[in-house]
Amino acid sequence: MEWRQFIYKLIGVSLQNVALSGVASESSQYGGYPRAHFAIDGKKKPSCSHSVYEASPWWRVDLLDVYRVITVNITSRADCCPGRLNGAEIRIGNSLENNGIINTRCGVIYHHLGEETHTFQCNEMEGRYITVVIPGPYKKYLILCEVEVYGLRADTTSPVPSTLPPSTSASKKPDSNSSNILFPLFFNLHSLVHHSPSSPSFSSSFLQFPD
């Protein structure tokens, strides 16, 4: 589990799949039938989005607000052609220029997914649009059976710092600066929980500080 997700789980913050309430579109429609929404219907099979055979096919979801994206999960077609997503890029940002494929890249699919769901860590990249594109001059199909996007609205105060201190060996006593890093983290977590009526009770025993 990615460390940000661990901390969210620790303090009882539930990350929702915000793609479910988004609006999907794609570069083309296989068979002339609109299928883009199949990739955000909450079902990993049997329905999938499907482009025509074309160069640089893309699929995009508009989250309808700006989010700090923690993870993106991609599920490909299970019954056929697992290699069709090789080279696909996940782009996140607020621009619709060139159909959103110029936004910042979160990850690239370099292997056959098969029916597996693969998780990409996007480290709180901000954006309203999530675009999946297979770039290049060669014609390909883009097939996505489910795209899940987990994150927080950008105007939500994050309880998680941008970086964590490196892990310390049990045989090595932490230096005096450790508490300077850990205390603000504890304070942020404690404040978030006690200022949120919906959050579960929080105990300092969740975090153990070095002696």
Question: Highest mean pLDDT range out of 4-8, 148-152, 168-172?
Answer: 148-152
* Beta carbons within 8 Å of 205's beta carbon, 6+ residues apart: none
> Whole-prediction pTM value?
0.71
Q: Which CATH fold would you assign to the domain 2-152? A: Jelly Rolls (2.60.120)
Which range (4-18, 64-78, 131-145) has the least confidence?
A: 4-18
Q: Burial, 15: exposed, middle or buried (Cβ in 10 Å; 0-12, 13-18, 19+)?
A: middle
Q: Which helix (H) or strand (E) holds 71?
A: strand 58-75
Least confident of 38-52, 98-112, 146-160, 192-206: 192-206
Q: What are the pLDDT digits (tens) for 56-112?
A: 999 999 999 999 999 999 998 877 776 788 899 999 999 999 999 999 999 998 876
Q: C-alpha angle with apex 78: 76 to 79, nearest 5 degrees?
A: 135
Query: Which token pair is 40?
Result: 């955000």
Can you give the residue ranges of every domain in the chain? 2-152
Provide the pLDDT for residue 41.
95
pLDDT score for 114: 60
